[in-house]
């Protein structure tokens, strides 16, 4: 029987049961007995004790971190199949032996060797392929990250869901026989990045979060040296009619130069850095003087204020353009957030500036397509608007 838990932000839970096996289905577990085994490249299983998965791994695109992510995903696949059915599915390093009689679940390059690579590429090598046939099951991706997506997409097909971190948000079917529909699916994520700031590795893996490596946190004011506020007080934002100790004027050229110089200094020390965050500090309350000249007059109904996105893009574009000549690969993340969540009206977005939509002022309890939530039309507008830039 499927186990359900109450969730505070899900209005309705639909009974998650797997369909009965049809002729075209491929059985991996039958009546509580495993008919399959998971075969993985030996490189994945080398060092789980000495080299555990680090806390921020799901946010990182580097090959070693994603190798560890796939290692944990494979272990999770076996564990979840056992919890669903009671059957232990063995993880075997290397290719199946010639006399292997169990149905092979092939991971990564082992799947590519038998079935071929994903038939379609996705940005940041996130495309994957799932093959289910009577010759075996193949779970492969353009990268280890994408192969992890394939694993959890397969579990999603079985009815596995993780709504919130921890066991409280977990929903798994209970099945004596586990069967999968025959298929050959090449697909990938519809966005280049998906993230939740509060979640752990396990929840992120299971919900296929991650993607491109992007820093987009609240770093703007902290990157501007405090000393510059003293030597050049004209950069301090006017908030509530007086100079603010922390906020700065986004449109002031010295602010852009200070941030660009700080980024360049870090890159001199570590050229492997691929991204910097340019998002303002949390909250609202920005410059009421010079910066207002750079607003485009776009009124944000949700914030009940004029959108600040255009003035922010002035700063972001200047920083990106200053860093680009020496480090053209570096990207700058900005949160589309609070009262700068709407797409810019006048300013273009520099190719090295990447917005990350963070709809904190919108409902998180309803799907974006539900027009019963009155603000969803505005949410779709801003998502579609950023997508066109």
Contacts of 343 (CB under 8 A, 6+ apart): 309, 336, 382, 385, 386, 388, 389
Q: What is the pLDDT of residue 17?
A: 38
Domain ranges of the chain: 25-190, 220-387
Q: What is the pLDDT of residue 14?
A: 30
* Matching residue, tokens 């906020």: 247
Q: What is the pLDDT of residue 81?
A: 99
Q: What is the pLDDT of residue 79?
A: 98
Which segments in the chain show pLDDT lower than 50?
1-23
Quote the CATH superfamily of domain 25-190: Chitobiase/beta-hexosaminidase domain 2-like (3.30.379.10)
Among 54, 45, 112, 100, smallest CA distance to 78 is for: 45
Q: What is the pLDDT of residue 2?
A: 35
Q: How many CB atoms lie within 10 A of CB 355?
A: 27
| pTM recorded for the entire structure | 0.86
CB 104 within 8 A of CB 96: yes
Q: What is the pLDDT of residue 60?
A: 82
Among 348, 340, 352, smallest CA distance to 388 is for: 348
For the stretch 278-317, pLDDT in tens is: 999 999 999 999 999 999 999 998 888 999 999 999 999 9
């Amino acid at each position: 029987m499927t186990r359900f838990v109450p969730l505070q932000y899900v209005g309705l839970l639909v009974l998650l049961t797997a369909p009965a096996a049809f002729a075209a289905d491929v059985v991996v577990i039958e009546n509580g007995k495993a008919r399959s085994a998971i075969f993985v490249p030996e490189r994945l299983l080398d060092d789980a004790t000495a080299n555990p998965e680090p806390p921020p791994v799901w946010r990182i695109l580097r090959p070693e971190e994603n190798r560890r992510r796939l290692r944990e995903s494979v272990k999770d696949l076996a564990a979840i199949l056992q919890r669903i059915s009671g059957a232990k599915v063995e993880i075997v390093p290397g290719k199946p032996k010639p006399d292997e009689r169990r149905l092979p679940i092939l991971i990564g390059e082992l799947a590519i060797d038998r079935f071929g690579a994903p038939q379609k590429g996705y940005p940041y090598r996130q495309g994957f392929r799932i093959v289910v046939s009577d010759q075996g099951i193949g779970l492969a991706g353009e990268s280890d990250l994408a192969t992890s997506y394939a694993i959890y997409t397969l579990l999603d097909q079985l009815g596995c869901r993780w709504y919130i971190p921890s066991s409280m948000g977990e929903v798994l079917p209970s099945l004596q026989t586990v069967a999968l529909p025959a298929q050959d699916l090449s697909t990938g994520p519809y966005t280049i990045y998906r993230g939740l700031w509060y979640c752990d590795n396990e929840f992120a893996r299971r919900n296929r979060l991650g993607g491109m490596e992007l820093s987009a946190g609240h770093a703007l004011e902290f990157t501007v040296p405090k000393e510059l506020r003293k030597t050049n007080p004209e950069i301090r934002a006017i908030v509530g009619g007086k100079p603010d100790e922390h906020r700065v004027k986004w449109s002031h050229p010295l602010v852009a130069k200070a941030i660009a110089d700080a980024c360049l200094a870090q890159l001199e020390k570590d050229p492997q850095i691929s991204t910097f965050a340019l998002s303002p500090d949390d909250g609202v309350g920005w410059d009421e003087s010079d910066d207002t000249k750079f607003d485009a007059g776009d009124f944000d109904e949700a914030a009940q204020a004029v959108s600040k996105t255009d003035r922010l893009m002035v700063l972001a574009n200047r920083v990106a353009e200053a860093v680009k000549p020496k480090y053209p690969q570096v990207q700058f993340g900005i949160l589309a957030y609070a009262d700068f969540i709407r797409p810019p009206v006048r300013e273009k977005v520099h190719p090295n500036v990447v917005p990350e939509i963070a709809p904190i002022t919108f409902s998180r309890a309803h799907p974006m397509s539900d027009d019963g939530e009155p603000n969803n039309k505005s949410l779709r507008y801003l998502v579609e608007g950023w997508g066109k830039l």
